[in-house]
Chain A
Amino acid sequence: MTILAFDWALLIEKLVLIAIIVFGSLGIALYTTFAERKVAAILQDRPGPNRAGPFGLLQPFADGLKLIMKEEIIPNTSNKVLFILGPAMAMTAALMTCAVIPWSSHVELFDRKIELQIADINIGILYVFGVVSMGVYGIMIGGWASNNKFSLMAALRGASQAISYELAMGLALIAVLMLSGSLSLKTIVGEQMAQGNLWNIAYQPLGFLIFFVCALAECNRTPFDLPEAENELNFGYHQEYSSMKLGFYLFAEYVNMIMSSAIMACLYFGGYDVPFLDESTLAPNIAALIGVGALLVKIVIFIFIFMWIRWTIPRFRYDQLMNLGWKTMIPLALANMLITGAVILWRAGG
């Protein structure tokens, strides 16, 4: 049997890595919900959740238990299969992004060199975009299958917002790709770690700003949380959902936040690079651990900024949101792309 002639050790290694990364992301997402409530409380000068466990640390588990124990309601008139498919797709798309993120360099274990990245494919960043565009379906299918006008309106808003801001995001990304000359996230991070090179934020400050704003819009975070504008649309595209299906939608948002933070850290802030430290002088395993720590610190900082913005800025009106996306972000991103290309050509020629 040729089917069994397979690198089984590699398969097991990858499966373990996938399990660690997926459950790790879910664990971080669990505590991001807690952090969101705590940050909101601090910004609004109140104590926040502090009853479950020491400092309220068990609160996310209490919330999860509550969601699971709630009665599950599927509306009579809705399409059952699609109604269940909606949150499933939202969650799957959110988690699939983690496959191409380079969490750190490699570790050496049992005489094997294990890369701390699930798949280093040569189109890494495009894969992320593909998965993000699948996430839109989670919202649209859920909103439509609910058979509720408010849900459908919210789903349409969410999808058109995601498509509009994907354009500017892609244009901002092209400037980064011109700098590094590769679509693989590992190579992009490697370029920034190389001696004498600065992080991409030094070359692409405007590109980063555009990318960050678009990431906010893609994650449906304030000031772009039009799809779940409570005062106009009751609760948004997940209005008819209850129990853990609602939990999946809410949870997918936090997983998306973590993943977009990781992508931004990799693209603009050197990924698992620690500034002023030459990783090649350390033992590989220690360097890898430090790398994971550095990336996690960058992710946490980004998530904090996401929350800080949410509890500071009010939301846009819908026409303002579209104006910002099409008339400000896209021309700025185009200009940024042209200038970057011109400077690269000029430096290559001179």
Chain B
Amino acid sequence: MNITQILFFLLSAMAIFSAIMVLVSRNPVHSVLWLIAVFFAISGHYILLNAQFLAIVNLIVYAGAIMVLFLFVIMLMNLNKDTEPKKNIWMKLAGVVSGGCFLMVLISLVRQAADMQGKAAQTGVGDIGLIKNLGKALFSDFVVPFEISSVLFLSAMVGAVVIGKKA
């Protein structure tokens, strides 16, 4: 075991533990805080793959901006046990079964995908995650989808303004 492997297992354990805690926590604010921990662990994985830019953008955008807004909403809604709807046992069971089926499909998909066969993650050597290569790829090979997605963001912003004006 070298340091990269140790870090990989440490980060994976942290990610899975935090993800479970997101689901298990009774308090929604605690759930959000554990979700932020998951983002941190995933950013750590990006760094192991030598994708520092993706790692830090993941932190700024998801852990920084989006989760703060999430936290806003949850703090202001003041959720507690009384307001949360009680689901009966059959609903819970159905949820577990369908979730398990979905997990099985995902796992078999990942295991059998042709792109994944016989490939291992390149730790510390890949360079597509560096800002220079990523920028070149986005603005040359993928320039049309990139620009179209920016139109999507613009329409989302306009939508937010329209809803804000109505209230």
User: Which chain A residues border B42 with CB–CB below 8 Å?
Assistant: none
Contact A183 B131 (CB under 8 A): yes
Minimum Cβ distance to chain A for residue B167 (Å): 16
Distance between Cα atoms of A3 and B2 in the complex (Å): 6
User: In chain A, residues 175-233, which have Cβ atoms closer than 8 Å to a Cβ of chain B?
Assistant: 183
Contact B72 A127 (CB under 8 A): no
Contact A126 B60 (CB under 8 A): yes
User: Which chain B residues border A2 with CB–CB below 8 Å?
Assistant: 1-2
Distance between Cα atoms of A141 and B36 in the complex (Å): 13
Given A122-B52, A144-B75: A133 and B59 interface contact (C-beta under 8 Å): yes
Partner of B65, one of A6, A121, A127, A163: A163
- Is A107 positioned at the interface, with any CB of B under 8 Å from its CB? no
Contact B64 A136 (CB under 8 A): yes
Contact B53 A3 (CB under 8 A): no
Given A137-B36, A140-B71, A144-B29: A123 and B131 interface contact (C-beta under 8 Å): yes
Q: How many residues of B contact A (CB 8 A)?
A: 24
User: Which chain B residues border A134 with CB–CB below 8 Å?
Assistant: 59, 63-64
- Is B89 positioned at the interface, with any CB of A under 8 Å from its CB? no
User: Which chain A residues border B68 with CB–CB below 8 Å?
Assistant: 133, 136-137, 140, 159, 163
Contact B130 A122 (CB under 8 A): yes
Residue of A nearest to B75 (CB): A144
Minimum Cβ distance to chain B for residue A11 (Å): 12
Minimum Cβ distance to chain B for residue A186 (Å): 15
Partner of B53, one of A126, A133, A136: A126
Contact A133 B64 (CB under 8 A): yes
Minimum Cβ distance to chain A for residue B65 (Å): 6
- Is A314 positioned at the interface, with any CB of B under 8 Å from its CB? no
Interface flags for B35-76 (1: CB within 8 Å of A; 0: not) read 010000000000000001100110110011100110110011
Residue of A nearest to B27 (CB): A79
- Is B33 positioned at the interface, with any CB of A under 8 Å from its CB? yes
Q: How many residues of A contact B (CB 8 A)?
A: 25
- Is A57 positioned at the interface, with any CB of B under 8 Å from its CB? no
Minimum Cβ distance to chain A for residue B36 (Å): 7
User: In chain B, residues 119-158, which have Cβ atoms closer than 8 Å to a Cβ of chain A?
Assistant: 130-131
- Is B3 positioned at the interface, with any CB of A under 8 Å from its CB? yes
Residue of B nearest to A143 (CB): B75
User: In chain A, residues 132-171, which have Cβ atoms closer than 8 Å to a Cβ of chain B?
Assistant: 133-134, 136-137, 140-141, 144, 152, 156, 159-160, 163, 166
User: Which chain A residues border B57 with CB–CB below 8 Å?
Assistant: 126
Partner of A159, one of B52, B59, B72: B72
- Is A24 positioned at the interface, with any CB of B under 8 Å from its CB? no
Given A137-B36, A141-B33, A144-B75: A123 and B64 interface contact (C-beta under 8 Å): no
User: Which chain A residues border B71 with CB–CB below 8 Å?
Assistant: 140, 144, 159
Distance between Cα atoms of A140 and B68 in the complex (Å): 8
User: Which chain B residues border A121 with CB–CB below 8 Å?
Assistant: 52
Contact A129 B75 (CB under 8 A): no
Binding site for B on A (CB under 8 A): 2-3, 6, 82, 121-123, 126-127, 129-130, 133-134, 136-137, 140-141, 144, 152, 156, 159-160, 163, 166, 183
Binding site for A on B (CB under 8 A): 1-3, 6, 29, 33, 36, 52-53, 56-57, 59-60, 63-65, 68-69, 71-72, 75-76, 130-131
Known A126-B53, A129-B60, A159-B72; 11 more pairs at CB < 8 Å: A2-B1, A3-B6, A6-B3, A127-B56, A130-B60, A133-B64, A133-B65, A136-B68, A152-B75, A159-B71, A163-B65
